[in-house]
Amino acid sequence: MTRVGLLILVLMFAAAASAIAMKPQRVSISPDQRVDYENLIPKDFSTWSMLSTDITSVVNPQQQEVLDRIYSQIVSRAYRDSQTGQIVMLALAYGEEQSKQSQVHFPEVCYPAQGFQITNNRKDELRTFKAAIPVTRLVAIAEERKEPITYWIRLGSRTVRGNLEQKIATVRDGLAGRVSDGLLFRVSSISSETEKAYELHNRFATDLLEAIPPASRHLLIGRETQS
């Protein structure tokens, strides 16, 4: 083999070794570390009580296979406020591995796939007793149904807002050599008064976070989001 050929071979091996070393590693979660979100989220807290009737489903059965591949846990509930009678719908979807192939899906994608039109899409901030959570607000409309939505996505230890922030966080984790878990936290209600609905979402989310043990709140909003 010539000297040039040998040099090329060495460079090829070096490049391959570098690629292997830089390949992001999945953040492993042992069985005793796995969180049961169904049990973590209380059925009754503050003035809220979970309804036994399921009015929350917006999932198209044809998409169930995709959901099962992306998420390892899904929690879907409706709560009623005992003081006002108002109803809020909660959807929580958790995936242990966030990669290009298995990222948390945004409501902007899921709702239109089921016949909804998305309007009033904007970035906002939900201020709770302990944190300012970056959120996305939007409204999904289908015929006479108007559903204001507030949601955030936890990716690893931080909360991201929108597709661009999600991609940046995923790339940053990749460069750090890890593949983080991800959580979609979505609150919505049926209302024609959008801003009042968002105020309701804020109160619900704040009451819920207060009801979660302090040591477990990072599972919903990330450690970096907490003050």
DSSP string, 103-157: PPPPHHHHTGGGTPEEEEEEEEEEE-SSBEEEEEEEEEEETTEEEEEEEEEEETT
pLDDT of 28 reads: 45
Instruction: Report which DSSP code applies to 61.
Output: G
Distance (Å, whole) CA 172 – CA 118? 30
pLDDT exceeds 70 at position 209: yes
Q: Which burial class, exposed, middle or buried, applies to 204 when counting CB atoms under 10 A from its CB (0-12, 13-18, 19+)?
A: buried
**Rounded to whole angstroms, how far apart are CA atoms 165 and 55?**
31
User: What pLDDT does 129 receive?
Assistant: 74
What CATH number does the domain located at 25-221 have?
A: 3.40.1000
**Which range has the top average pLDDT, 8-17, 111-120, 156-165, 168-177?**
111-120
Tokens for 16, please give them: 């391959």
The mean per-residue pLDDT over the stretch 4-27 comes to 45
> CA-to-CA distance for 78 and 58, rounded, in angstroms?
12
Instruction: Give mean pLDDT, residues 118-130.
Output: 90
pLDDT tens for each residue of 39-96: 999 999 999 999 986 565 544 544 655 566 667 898 999 999 999 999 999 999 998 7
**Sorting pLDDT into bands at 50, 70 and 90, what band is 31?**
very low
Label residue 13 by pLDDT band (50, 70, 90).
very low
pLDDT of residue 177: 75
Percent of the chain exceeding pLDDT 90 equals 48
Q: What Cα–Cα distance (Å) separates residue 212 from each residue in 23, 42, 46, 208?
A: 35, 8, 11, 7
pTM tops 0.85: no
Angstrom distance (rounded) from CA 183 to CA 170? 13
Count H helices, E strands: the chain? Answer: 7, 11
Please report the pLDDT score of residue 106 as a whole number: 83
Domain assignments of the chain as residue spans, ordered by start: 25-221
pLDDT at 21 > cutoff 90: no
Residues paired with 208 in a beta bridge: none
